[in-house]
């Protein structure tokens, strides 16, 4: 492993970073002054600020505000190159990473590797649910859901069939974690405020929002007190919270739920959101096969205390892909992991012995979730609080973490308009979303026989 100041690109220590999320971007930034050659290979061209994804899905902010171009962020970090590509294989023996982009395959060698490929939605073995209940993990997901949520109201306005209208105006959010709570709250606010008075045939405020979870509590990691607080607030907003309710099936027209007593019941709903579980990037399996490292049930890599994997002290797994006792799958876990990996790489360049590394330790900065405008819950160390103060803290912190000065201002404006008024600036859906959603053609054929007349509908 050669490295010395003033080395040329070709003999510099090669760092490959997989992923441009919190973990990957933080690792890259903390290598800014290191004499390394960084290649960040990511499946998207943007750095996604996932905690605000629900606001893109519900029309409050634009995708650009939470997904700035990674290469623009790293423009001035000359030792870093950003490469678009889907990493399909990591080869620990040849120390290379294989990625693909539109039919081209690229093989990139590394000396050090930071794997921060994140996690996708888990359907617990029922991947066919995904088509009917998209997850909330990417910009694609958020825009798809925006189209489905607003599209359901549009279809309901045109329908003369009360049962179909009810199905269209029933929104089910599966999973009462932070994302589920935020989605349920925002769909309710969209229906009750933003869309209120914009329809003539339906009353958007009559829409039903159901938040389901197989667990017995809302926001379980926040503890009972805050969970109950969030639950009470959501219920006051009209959200129907159904706990201990296990989803057994999801199809185009609704979901089937098993209650604790074993009875199955059906909820007719056109628009479903899945935020019930995560499944780490399949790259973890690659590592397990080659290094013998274990994976947990969610597919996360059970890394060593220094976030590396057995026999590969320069291969780090950080963020949602790593299973580390006491580290939650949140931005802070990824940020701190990315920073730790970068520092370990820099220490290695200076000759430090990997076996002497201090183990990674997570500093819990707390967690929070918004429930509705003016209301959030927050847990910071032993401190637990909810309501307006928590919401202000949430507002402040999220603004601080958004990348770019202009983005902060635009987002603040978007929030002002939405929270003080009721309007939302990003309710746009594409024609593709309105007419040609996944397998919608099939639906069209099924429905083609149904004839509605405007007369009957008005």
Q: Which stretch binds a second copy (CB under 8 A): 55-63, 120-128, 280-288, 341-349?
A: 55-63
Q: Going by C-beta distance under 8 Å and a sequence separation of 6 or more, which residues neighbour residue 393?
A: 368, 376, 378
Q: At 30, is the secondary structure helix, strand, or coil?
A: coil
Q: Cβ 44 to a second copy, closest distance in Å?
A: 6
Give the burial class of 290: count Cβ atoms within 10 A of its Cβ; 0-12 exposed, 13-18 middle, 19 or more buried: middle
Q: Which stretch binds a second copy (CB under 8 A): 152-160, 178-186, 290-298, 392-400?
A: 152-160
- Give the CA angle between residues 388, 391, 395 to the nearest 5°: 140
Taking CB under 8 A as the rule, which mask of x and - marks residues 100-139 in contact with a second copy? -xxxxxxxxx----------------------------xx
* β-sheet bridge partners, residue 36: 13
Residue 415 engages a second copy in binding (rule: CB under 8 A) = no
Binding a second copy (rule: CB under 8 A), the pick from 31, 74, 117, 369 is 74
Binding a second copy (rule: CB under 8 A), the pick from 27, 82, 217, 271 is 82
Would you give the distance in Å from CA 196 to the centre of its chain? 28
Closest CB to a second copy among 62 and 290?
62
The answer to whether 394 touches 411, Cβ cutoff 8 Å, is: no
Q: Cβ 372 to a second copy, closest distance in Å?
A: 20
Q: Cβ 292 to a second copy, closest distance in Å?
A: 27
Binding a second copy (rule: CB under 8 A), the pick from 1, 264, 392, 447 is 447
The one catalytic residue in 182, 224, 294, 445 is 182
The Cα–Cα gap between 60 and 384 comes to 28
Closest CB to a second copy among 308 and 407?
407
Closest CB to a second copy among 44 and 290?
44
Give the burial class of 85: count Cβ atoms within 10 A of its Cβ; 0-12 exposed, 13-18 middle, 19 or more buried: buried
Binding a second copy (rule: CB under 8 A), the pick from 94, 131, 435, 439 is 435
Q: Cβ 56 to a second copy, closest distance in Å?
A: 10
Q: Cβ 63 to a second copy, closest distance in Å?
A: 4
Q: Which stretch binds a second copy (CB under 8 A): 20-28, 148-156, 253-261, 298-306?
A: 148-156
Closest CB to a second copy among 289 and 430?
430
Name the H helices within 215-370: 224-236, 283-291, 331-349
Q: Cβ 67 to a second copy, closest distance in Å?
A: 4
The answer to whether 171 touches 271, Cβ cutoff 8 Å, is: yes
Q: Going by C-beta distance under 8 Å and a sequence separation of 6 or more, which residues neighbour residue 137?
A: 50, 53, 118, 119, 120, 121
Closest CB to a second copy among 387 and 404?
404
The Cα–Cα gap between 439 and 344 comes to 48
Binding a second copy (rule: CB under 8 A), the pick from 199, 374, 385, 419 is 199
Residue 83 engages a second copy in binding (rule: CB under 8 A) = yes
Instruction: Please count the residues of this chain forming the interface with a second copy, following the rule CB under 8 A.
Output: 87
Taking CB under 8 A as the rule, which mask of x and - marks residues 364-393 in contact with a second copy? ------------------------------
The answer to whether 293 touches 303, Cβ cutoff 8 Å, is: yes
Q: Cβ 288 to a second copy, closest distance in Å?
A: 25
Range 204-263, binding a second copy (CB under 8 A): none
3-state secondary structure 149-188: HHHHHHHHHHCCCHHHHHHHCEEEEECCCHHHHHHHHHHH
Closest CB to a second copy among 124 and 435?
435
Q: How many CB atoms lie within 10 A of CB 268?
A: 14
Asked about 182 being catalytic, the answer comes back as yes
Closest CB to a second copy among 52 and 139?
139
Q: How many CB atoms lie within 10 A of CB 37?
A: 22
Q: Cβ 98 to a second copy, closest distance in Å?
A: 10
Binding a second copy (rule: CB under 8 A), the pick from 94, 248, 289, 423 is 423
Range 34-53, binding a second copy (CB under 8 A): 39, 43-46
The Cα–Cα gap between 1 and 336 comes to 26
Closest CB to a second copy among 33 and 200?
200
The Cα–Cα gap between 384 and 72 comes to 38
Residue 117's region, left for phi above 0, alpha for psi from -120 to 50, else beta, is alpha
Catalytic residue ranges:
182
């Amino acid at each position: 492993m050669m490295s010395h100041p003033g080395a040329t690109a070709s003999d510099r220590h090669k760092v490959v970073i997989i992923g441009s999320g919190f973990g990957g971007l933080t690792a890259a930034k903390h290598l800014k002054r290191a004499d390394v050659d960084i290649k960040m290979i990511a499946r998207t061209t943007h750095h996604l600020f996932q905690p605000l994804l629900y606001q893109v899905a519900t029309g409050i902010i634009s995708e650009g505000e939470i997904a700035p171009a990674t290469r623009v962020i790293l423009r001035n970090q000359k030792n870093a190159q950003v490469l678009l590509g889907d990493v399909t294989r990591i080869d620990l023996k040849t120390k290379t990473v294989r990625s693909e982009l539109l039919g081209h395959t690229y093989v990139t060698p590394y000396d050090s590797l930071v794997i921060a490929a994140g996690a996708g939605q888990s359907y617990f073995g029922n991947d066919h649910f995904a088509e009917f209940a998209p997850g909330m993990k990417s910009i694609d997901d958020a825009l798809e859901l925006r189209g489905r949520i607003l599209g359901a109201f549009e279809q309901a306005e045109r329908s003369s069939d009360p049962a179909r209208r009810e199905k269209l105006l029933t929104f089910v959010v599966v999973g009462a974690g932070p994302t589920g709570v935020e989605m349920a709250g925002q769909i309710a606010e969209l229906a009750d405020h933003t869309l209120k008075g914009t329809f003539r045939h339906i009353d958007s405020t009559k829409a039903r929002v159901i938040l389901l979870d197989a667990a017995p509590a809302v926001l379980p990691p926040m503890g009972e007190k805050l969970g109950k607080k969030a639950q009470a607030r959501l219920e006051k907003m009209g959200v129907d919270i159904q706990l201990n309710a296990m989803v057994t099936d999801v199809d185009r027209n609704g979901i089937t739920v098993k209650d604790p007593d074993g009875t199955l019941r059906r909820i007719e709903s056109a628009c479903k959101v899945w935020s019930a579980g995560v499944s780490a990037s399949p790259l973890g399996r690659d590592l397990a096969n080659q290094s013998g490292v274990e994976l947990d049930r969610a597919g996360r890599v059970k890394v060593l205390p220094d976030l590396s994997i057995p026999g590969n002290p320069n291969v780090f797994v950080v963020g949602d892909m790593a299973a580390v006792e006491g580290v939650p799958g949140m931005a802070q876990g990824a940020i701190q992991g990315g920073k730790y990996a970068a520092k370990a790489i820099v220490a290695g360049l200076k000759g430090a012995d990997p076996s002497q590394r201090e183990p990674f330790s997570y500093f819990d900065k707390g967690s929070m979730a918004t429930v509705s405008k003016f209301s959030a819950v927050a847990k910071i160390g032993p401190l637990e609080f909810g309501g307006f103060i928590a919401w202000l803290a949430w507002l402040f912190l999220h603004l601080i973490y958004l990348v770019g000065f202009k983005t902060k201002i635009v987002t603040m404006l978007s929030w002002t308009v939405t929270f003080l008024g009721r309007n939302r600036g990003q309710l746009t859906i594409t024609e593709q979303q309105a007419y040609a959603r996944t397998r919608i053609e099939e639906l069209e054929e099924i429905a083609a026989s149904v004839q509605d007349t405007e007369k009957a509908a008005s």
